[in-house]
């Protein structure tokens, strides 16, 4: 069935260092890959997304890369700040009214 | 001005009771969702609606009955609540369900005792 694996489940980095979260999806028809950030007591919020016809996308300190052949995509956060601490979810969609979410990564940025 | 609003934010109830969660979006979106987040933070789709019509029912027990009176509202009614229903329930909306940004509500934390 459709599945998205996400690693690591927890990640601690020093402030200013980079953080990388990786996801692998199973449905080769997936064509949209968003990343969501969930802060404590709030709903997930989109931080960046990528479509299957693009290999990389960057928005300030955040970047996402996609390898369609390997069915991998990754989130890269550079120059991490304490406010980056949250749970991050990757997701995959084939555009049929359904997102399959990864299992989440709890990121802690240590000051 | 909240884009996707859910009520209530917290709900504590006894086993066997019936409860409802309401959701409204003011984004003009056609597609709305219910997701369940368990204690391990796993987010799993329950239902998706497009223009008031049910599109996906992801093997959810029929004790859960969604209702969409119009495309701006998607409510969730749960009958005969069980301990295992305790979770955070998120409503979300998307422009057309074809793979664009989904906007989530703040969640409803349901605790069944």
Q: State the pLDDT at residue B1.
A: 67
A85 phi and psi angles, rounded to 5 deg: -65, 125
Residues of A within 8 A of B105 (CB-CB) are 43
Q: State the pLDDT at residue A56.
A: 96
A54 pLDDT more than 90:
no
Tell me what the mean pLDDT of segment B50-70 comes to: 93
- List residues bridging with B112 in a β-sheet: B13
Tell me what the mean pLDDT of segment A98-108 comes to: 95
Per the listing, tokens 């599109």 go with B55
B42 to A101: CB separation less than 8 angstroms, yes or no:
yes
pLDDT, one tens digit per residue, over B19-52 is 999 999 999 999 999 999 999 889 999 999 999 9
**Which B residues in the span 53-82 are in contact with A, Cβ-Cβ below 8 Å?**
55-56, 58
- Can you list the alpha helix ranges (DSSP code H) found in B1-113? none
A96 pLDDT more than 90:
no
Q: State the pLDDT at residue A97.
A: 84
Per the listing, tokens 């799993």 go with B44
A32 to B48: CB separation less than 8 angstroms, yes or no:
no
Mean pLDDT of the residues in chain A: 95
Buried b (16+ CB within 10 A) or exposed e, A51-70: ebeeeeeeeeebbbbbebee
Strands (E), A39-71: 45-51, 56-59, 62-67
Output Rg (C-alpha) for chain A, integer angstroms: 13
Closest CA to B104 of B1, B5, B28, B21: B5
Tell me what the mean pLDDT of segment A36-41 comes to: 96
Tell me what the mean pLDDT of segment A53-72 comes to: 95
Helix-then-strand count for chain B, H and E: 0, 11
């Amino acid at each position: 069935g459709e599945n998205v694996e996400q690693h690591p489940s927890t990640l601690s980095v020093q402030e200013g260092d980079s953080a990388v979260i990786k996801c692998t999806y199973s449905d080769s028809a997936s064509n949209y890959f968003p990343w969501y950030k969930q802060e404590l007591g709030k709903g997930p919020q989109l931080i960046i997304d990528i479509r299957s016809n693009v290999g990389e996308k960057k928005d300030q300190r955040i970047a996402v890369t996609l390898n369609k052949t390997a069915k991998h995509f990754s989130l890269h956060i550079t120059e991490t700040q304490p406010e980056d601490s949250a749970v991050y979810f990757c997701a995959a969609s084939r555009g049929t009214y359904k997102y399959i979410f990864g299992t989440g990564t709890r990121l802690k940025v240590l000051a | 001005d909240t884009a996707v609003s859910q009520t209530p934010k917290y709900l504590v109830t006894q086993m066997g009771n019936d409860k409802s969660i309401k959701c409204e979006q003011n984004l003009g979106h056609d597609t709305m969702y219910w997701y369940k987040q368990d204690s391990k933070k796993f987010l799993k789709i329950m239902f998706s609606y497009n223009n008031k019509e049910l599109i996906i029912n992801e093997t959810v027990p029929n004790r859960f009955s969604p209702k969409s009176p119009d495309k701006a509202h998607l409510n969730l009614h749960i009958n005969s609540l069980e301990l295992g229903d305790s979770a955070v329930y998120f409503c979300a909306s998307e422009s057309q369900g074809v793979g664009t940004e989904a906007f989530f509500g703040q969640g409803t934390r349901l605790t069944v005792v």
